[in-house]
Amino acid sequence: MRRRVIFRGKLLPYLLLAPQIAVTLVFFFWPAGQAIRQSVLREDPFGLSSEFVGLENFREVLSDPLYLNAVWNTAVFSTSVAALALGAALFLAVLADKSIRGAGVYKTLLIWPYAVAPAVAAVLWLFLFHPAIGLFGRALNAAGIAWDFKLNGAQAMLLVIFASAWKQVSYNFIFFLAGLQSIPRSVLEAAAIDGARPARRFWTVVFPLLSPTTFFLLVVNLTYAFFDTFGVIHALTGGGPGKATETLIYKVYVDGVQNLNLGGSSAQSVILMAIVIALTAVQFRYVERRVHY
């Protein structure tokens, strides 16, 4: 149902749009503009003056081995988080889609982690996997596995991946469950009569019919892993040990806020911004069209 509303004057529509425009201007365009400006400037060590250096900051950032390390970390981290969060959510959704006793409770419990703040989630995982006081951390060590994510970079990466994915499973679960429920039962029954066993039904009918949902969630999860996992990493590992869990977004923080390298940090921000824009463009362009059967 579409209704066309026509306002008399010119003022009212602008007034109605003003709050949204103000928010976008203040919290996005202004900082983004600042970042772009900063990315081509270099400050003196005391922050008293700055000079224009062109693309020098970008050249420096892109040739910095530490930056390339962060790129690699981000790639590993975000693919793992997306794969883990999508896989687990799909598995749980398939189970929840069956008619089982207490389905309502089960679904509610699965959705809860989404309501937990990133830092709180991180502390929860910290307490579980702390090598000295954590329940699982101690158990692992007792079982003879040398578990200490504060010393072992791979273990630290594993932990932030799990903690970040855990938070995203709920969100994916809701979408997958809705997707599964929108698949007509008779189509699955037709496949069963055509001779397909459950596993085959899943891979040849259910999974392809979920592809629009999966693609949408993939983009959302990558965006999440790229940009919204700062809190988890900060509370769990602080990017360490060494630089083992330093992702792009975390490095922006470290370089800009801790090391006060404003030019370099801004250049990284601009690169990240380009990635967001690209991801969003992909989402808008393809989610609506290509994946639809």
Partner 1 sequence: MATLELVGVRKSFGSVQVLHGIDLSVADGEMVVIVGASGCGKSTLLRIVAGLETPTEGRVLIDGRDVTPLEPADRDIAMVFQNYALYPHMSVFDNMAYGLKIRRVPRAEIRRRVQETAELLGISSLLDRRPRQLSGGQRQRVAMGRAIVREPRLFLFDEPLSNLDAKLRVQMRAEIRRLQKRLGVTSLFVTHDQTEAMTLGDRLVVMHQGRAAQIATPMEVWARPADTYVAGFIGSPAMNFLDATLAEEGRAAALAAGPVLRFADGPRPGPEGRRIVVGVRPEHVHAAPGDEGGLPLAIELAEPLGSETVLHGRLPGGESFTARLPGAAAPQAGAVLPLRLPADTLHIFDAETGLRLDPRA
What residues from 204 to 223 belong to the interface with partner 1 (CB under 8 A)? Answer: 204-205, 208-209, 211
Report the alpha-carbon distance of residue 189 to residue 196 in Å, rounded.
9
Question: In the numeric block, which tokens belong to residue 291?
Answer: 């994946």
| Contact flag: residue 94 with partner 1 (CB under 8 A) | no
Amino acid at 92: L
Per CB under 8 A, 45 contacts partner 1: no
Q: How far is the CB of 219 from partner 1 (least distance, A)?
A: 20
- Name which position in 62, 94, 192, 282 contacts partner 1 (CB under 8 A): 192
Which of 15, 154, 190, 277 forms a contact with partner 1 (CB under 8 A)?
190
In whole angstroms, give the CA distance from residue 191 to residue 194.
5
**Count of residues interacting with partner 1 (CB under 8 A):** 19
With binding defined as CB under 8 A, does residue 189 bind partner 1? yes
- Interface with partner 1, residue 195, by CB under 8 A: yes
Taking the C-alpha atoms of residue 182 and residue 35, their distance in angstroms, rounded to an integer, is 44
Nearer of residues 194 and 288 to partner 1, judged by Cβ: 194
Which DSSP helix (H) or strand (E) runs through 153? Answer: helix 153-181
Q: CA 274, 280, 281 angle in degrees (round to 5)?
A: 85
**CA R_g for the chain:** 23
Compute the C-alpha angle 76/77/81, nearest 5°.
120
> Strands 50-52, 41-43: parallel, antiparallel or unpaired by DSSP?
antiparallel
Report in angstroms how near the CB of residue 258 gets to partner 1 at its nearest. 50
Q: Are 246 and 70 in contact (CB under 8 A)?
A: yes
Please identify, among the stretches 35-43, 163-171, 190-198, 220-228, the one whose residues bind partner 1 according to the rule CB under 8 A. Answer: 190-198
Could you say whether residue 287 binds partner 1 (CB under 8 A)? no
Interaction mask 166-185, partner 1, x per CB under 8 A: ------------------x-
Instruction: Determine, following the binding rule CB under 8 A, whether residue 193 of this chain makes contact with partner 1.
Output: yes
**C-alpha distances in Å from residue 259, one per residue of 32, 248, 265:** 20, 15, 9
User: Which residues here bind partner 1, judged by CB under 8 A?
Assistant: 184, 186-187, 189-197, 200, 204-205, 208-209, 211, 293
